Structure 1
Amino acid sequence: MFKPFRTAAVLGAGVMGSQIAAHLANAGLTVYLLDIPGKGSNKNELVETSFKKALKLSPPIFFTEKTARRVIVGNFDEHFDSVAAVDWVIEAVVENLDIKQKLMERLESVIRSDTVVSTNTSGLPIDAIAQGRSESFRQRFLGTHFFNPPRYLKLLEIIPTADTDPQVLERMKWFGELHLGKGVVVAKDTPNFIANRIGMYVTMLGLQALTQGYTIEEIDTLTGTIAGRPKSATFRTADLVGLDTLMYVASNLYPAIPHDESREVFRVPELLRKLVETGTLGAKTGQGFYKKQDRQILSLNPETLAYEPAKPLNLGDIEAIGKIPDLGDRLRALYRDRSRAGAFFRESILKTLSYA
């Protein structure tokens, strides 16, 4: 048995920081949500604005309105000392190594000697973020990578460093599973850890398939619910994530994995680069691989970059396969299929399993 966390501080009130704070509050913790100060007379302006936006998210991030009162907002200038009283500090600021390192230095001068510190980075090296900190700090430091939205997505990647105390790791696993309701996976401190590394690989395979004669609709049909994956599949997911974010992750991943035998899969395709350069960033700009126009969903023609109505699927008897109720039976039927659907599935699933 371990001592549960009762208080926490989340540093960074962006989309993830606010939602992590909410989920900790749902689990009964008192949470300080801090961010950089505003420039006006109200230094809490930025954190308050971010938190109000988070409160309007759908599905809701809090169990009840009362739960939201467990989150106390503040700023780094006036309220940073509040971290001295908490059991757990989670860093969720901008993905900039220098900024994170400076924040860790400031943290070390304030927190208790038994406070656990973690980072929610999705790709920066965990060990590098704690570089320059004392041995005691590094023993209590690790990665806790939540997924958006953290109230609803079950996965929690925990990434220890070579210096992380094994008891700190076990406590975090125990708390994540028992109190936060997570499915915890311990990951190595490698670029993008597990889920985003494999997820990016699968996304890039989908982009490659556009050059192999498959349409956006065909690829999303084959990488969606029929294969046991979310209905947003490949390209709707990319639009939701943001094409600029997708390109940023791939651009940072490629140089970080020089010995990866599948490294070339992660090279940013020219199509993705063109879309980002023209401000076509997905859902946040109203158009990406898909565009809604006059109540009709149009998809991108990768050759002309124009948006067109969906063409009929050329995937053999895909409807019959889709009606098979058991996922295992459905996947076996896809694997045996002799049409273009089966060819796509066999290549993508074997490559993905091999890479994983």
Structure 2
Amino acid sequence: MRIKKIGVVGSGTMGGAIAALAASAGVPVVMLDIPGQEDKLELVKKGLERQLKSKPASFMDKSRASLIELGTTDELEKLKDCDWIVEVIIEKPEPKQALFARLEALGTQAIVSSNTSGIPMKTLLEGRGEAFRKRFLGTHFFAPVRYLHLLELIPTPETDPAVLEAMRRFGERILGKGTVICKDAPGFIANRLGVFGMAQAMRLMMSEGLTIDEVDALTGPLVGRPKSATFRTGDISGLDVLKLVSTELSHTTGEDFRMPDWVEDLIQQGYLGEKTGAGF
């Protein structure tokens, strides 16, 4: 089971970066997003352009962008010859479930995965048939995709072991990732720990009277963590995504992962992080 071409559904911060990483490794990519109003490819073009301009750079060589074919979600047939299709759309179960129903109806034999930050695989698979379930798993990348080493693989009890092995091999040998096999538990491993740590850092910042810059100085390379530390990581991921993940984790675990009210105020003002040009 070899992966020679991939499909990415969703051209946002994560989807575009996954496409850029794969293309940088020499793998042809089909990247789809919802149709625009005047130009059907407006959103997916913007997604690719964002990756070409990103800092740090998403592409190892910008010329590799030529390996990415663009399309809309009205053209799912473009994915039929892909060996792996990764879903990277809004972090809500219903739209993801609807997309998987369409992919199943398409009759693709590709491995299908979700890049969800924490929605259980068993929830996403509701209504899907046995053949689809065998080819399905979670593939959770982290932002910025090119630079963060971790790739979480989340199989279900029904995932074909050959599918899991193919994704592990592709992730490690082609994409250069360090893969970790996770249980299908809320938040998997990294977000169960990381989002709690982020919420705790915000609470301590408020109680100790620290600034955002001071927190990032204390929680980055100084303690062996990436330069993006706490708040820069939130800006890269998106404050809206952070809210969705923290809310879902609080709901599914009964633990307190909530962000402070001032984070909600930033979201309401449209300050979502890197993708809007302003955030933390």
Assess if the C-alpha contact under 8 Å between 2:216 and 2:230 holds in 1: yes
Alignment equivalent of 1:267, drawn from 255, 258, 262: 258
Secondary structure of the residue that 1:34 maps to in structure 2?
strand
Secondary structure of the residue that 2:106 maps to in structure 1?
coil
- Cα distance in 2 for partners of 1:10, 1:246 equals 21
Shift of 1:198: 0.7
- Tell me what 2:18 maps to: 20
Distance 1:222 1:12, change over 3 A: closer
- Tell me what 1:33 maps to: 31
- Tell me what 1:225 maps to: 221
- Cα distance in 2 for partners of 1:168, 1:80 equals 22
Assess if the C-alpha contact under 8 Å between 1:279 and 1:285 holds in 2: no
- Tell me what 1:198 maps to: 193
Q: Once structures 1 and 2 are overlaid, which stretch shifts more, 213-222 or 185-194? A: 213-222
Relative to the length of structure 1, the TM-score reads 0.71
- Cα distance in 2 for partners of 1:218, 1:159 equals 35
- Cα distance in 2 for partners of 1:240, 1:36 equals 22
Assess if the C-alpha contact under 8 Å between 2:3 and 2:166 holds in 1: no
Report 1:168-187 matches (<5 A). 168-187=163-182
- Tell me what 1:163 maps to: 158
Q: Which amino acid aligns with 1:227?
A: V
Secondary structure of the residue that 1:123 maps to in structure 2?
coil
Please give the root-mean-square deviation of Cα atoms over the aligned residues, in Å.
Answer: 2.3
Please state if 1:72 is matched with 2:63: no
Alignment equivalent of 2:45, drawn from 48, 51, 54: 48
Shift of 1:245: 3.9
Secondary structure of the residue that 1:103 maps to in structure 2?
helix
Q: How many residues align?
A: 278
Assess if the C-alpha contact under 8 Å between 1:19 and 1:54 holds in 2: yes
Secondary structure of the residue that 2:102 maps to in structure 1?
helix
- Cα distance in 2 for partners of 1:280, 1:53 equals 17
Unmatched segments (≥5 aa) in structure 2: none
- Cα distance in 2 for partners of 1:68, 1:75 equals 17
Assess if the C-alpha contact under 8 Å between 1:187 and 1:193 holds in 2: yes
Please state if 1:100 is matched with 2:91: no
Alignment equivalent of 1:133, drawn from 112, 122, 128: 128
Runs of 4+ in 1 over 6 A off after TM superposition: none
Shift of 1:50: 2.1
Assess if the C-alpha contact under 8 Å between 1:10 and 1:33 holds in 2: yes
Deviations along 1:161-217, one digit per CA (max 9) or x if unpaired, are 121111211121111111110000111112221111211111122122235435236
Q: Once structures 1 and 2 are overlaid, which stretch shifts more, 56-65 or 213-222? A: 213-222
- Tell me what 1:188 maps to: 183
Shift of 1:276: 4.6
- Cα distance in 1 for partners of 2:5, 2:126 equals 26
Larger radius of gyration: 1
- Cα distance in 2 for partners of 1:7, 1:287 equals 35
Deviations along 1:85-127, one digit per CA (max 9) or x if unpaired, are 11111111112211111111111122433x2111111121122
- Tell me what 1:110 maps to: 106
Q: Which amino acid aligns with 1:6?
A: K
Q: Which amino acid aligns with 1:20?
A: I
Distance 1:43 1:202, change over 3 A: same
Structure with the greater relative contact order (CA < 8 A, sep ≥ 6): 1 or 2?
2
Assess if the C-alpha contact under 8 Å between 2:52 and 2:62 holds in 1: no
Q: Which amino acid aligns with 2:102?
A: R
Assess if the C-alpha contact under 8 Å between 2:220 and 2:227 holds in 1: yes
Secondary structure of the residue that 1:72 maps to in structure 2?
strand
- Cα distance in 2 for partners of 1:212, 1:151 equals 35
Deviations along 1:250-303, one digit per CA (max 9) or x if unpaired, are 222211102xxxx23x23434544555566656646464xxxxxxxxxxxxxxx
Unmatched segments (≥5 aa) in structure 1: 289-356
Please state if 1:4 is matched with 2:14: no
Secondary structure of the residue that 1:85 maps to in structure 2?
coil
Distance 1:277 1:84, change over 3 A: closer
- Cα distance in 2 for partners of 1:285, 1:27 equals 28
Assess if the C-alpha contact under 8 Å between 1:209 and 1:219 holds in 2: no
Secondary structure of the residue that 1:198 maps to in structure 2?
helix
Deviations along 1:49-83, one digit per CA (max 9) or x if unpaired, are 22222221123222224321111101122x32121
Q: Which amino acid aligns with 1:61?
A: S
Assess if the C-alpha contact under 8 Å between 2:149 and 2:177 holds in 1: yes
- Cα distance in 2 for partners of 1:134, 1:287 equals 41
- Cα distance in 1 for partners of 2:32, 2:272 equals 29
Assess if the C-alpha contact under 8 Å between 1:7 and 1:88 holds in 2: yes
- Tell me what 1:309 maps to: none
